[in-house]
């Protein structure tokens, strides 16, 4: 199985801050990675696919980068509605695997 290691597991930041979340794959997954945001009680929502492509309708303050084994989700200017837990997903190999999640809180 491909292990996806996310860091940090949680963070607290102020409105307007730049936030960076990392995801490391245990082997090369090229660009076969997506990022999701999940709010309590809801299904996850796709933000980024193929590592760096912004999902239609998602604010441009969200950005993804990386390839191979190292990936980053960046929120350029944190907004109050960005609270929640963020997950990376690799879909290069079976079984599909998620990172452990990063909980984002607004100070």
Partner 1 sequence: QVQLQQWGTGLLKPSETLSLTCTVFGGSLADHYWNWIRQPPGKGLEWIGETSYIGRASYSPSLKSRVAISVDTSKNQFSLKLNSVTAADTAAYFCARRGQFDFWSFDYWGQGTLVSVSS
Smallest distance, partner 1 to C-beta of residue 99, A: 8
Q: State how far the Cα of 69 lies from the Cα of 85, in Å rounded to an integer.
A: 21
Smallest distance, partner 1 to C-beta of residue 22, A: 16
Q: 59 or 77: whose CB is closer to partner 1?
A: 59
Q: State how far the Cα of 83 lies from the Cα of 103, in Å rounded to an integer.
A: 8
Binding pattern for the stretch 56-85 against partner 1, x by CB under 8 A and - elsewhere: ------------------------------
Q: Residue 3 interacts with partner 1 (CB under 8 A)?
A: no
Contact present, 11 and 104 (Cβ < 8 Å): yes
Q: Residue 94 interacts with partner 1 (CB under 8 A)?
A: yes
Instruction: Determine the distance from the C-alpha atom of residue 15 to the mean position of all C-alpha atoms in its chain, rounded to a whole number.
Output: 18
Smallest distance, partner 1 to C-beta of residue 77, A: 25
Please count the CA atoms within 13 angstroms of the CA of 37 that sit on its side-chain side.
19
């Amino acid at each position: 199985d491909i292990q996806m290691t996310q860091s940090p597991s949680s963070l607290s930041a102020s409105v307007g801050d730049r936030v960076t979340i990392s995801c490391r794959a245990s082997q090369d997954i090229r660009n076969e990675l997506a990022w999701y945001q999940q709010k309590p009680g809801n299904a996850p929502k796709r933000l980024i696919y193929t590592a760096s492509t912004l999902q239609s309708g998602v604010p441009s303050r969200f950005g993804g980068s990386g390839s191979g084994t190292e990936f980053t989700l960046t929120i350029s200017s944190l907004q109050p509605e960005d609270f929640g837990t963020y997950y990376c997903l690799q879909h290069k190999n079976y079984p599909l695997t998620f990172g452990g999640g990063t909980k984002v809180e607004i100070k």
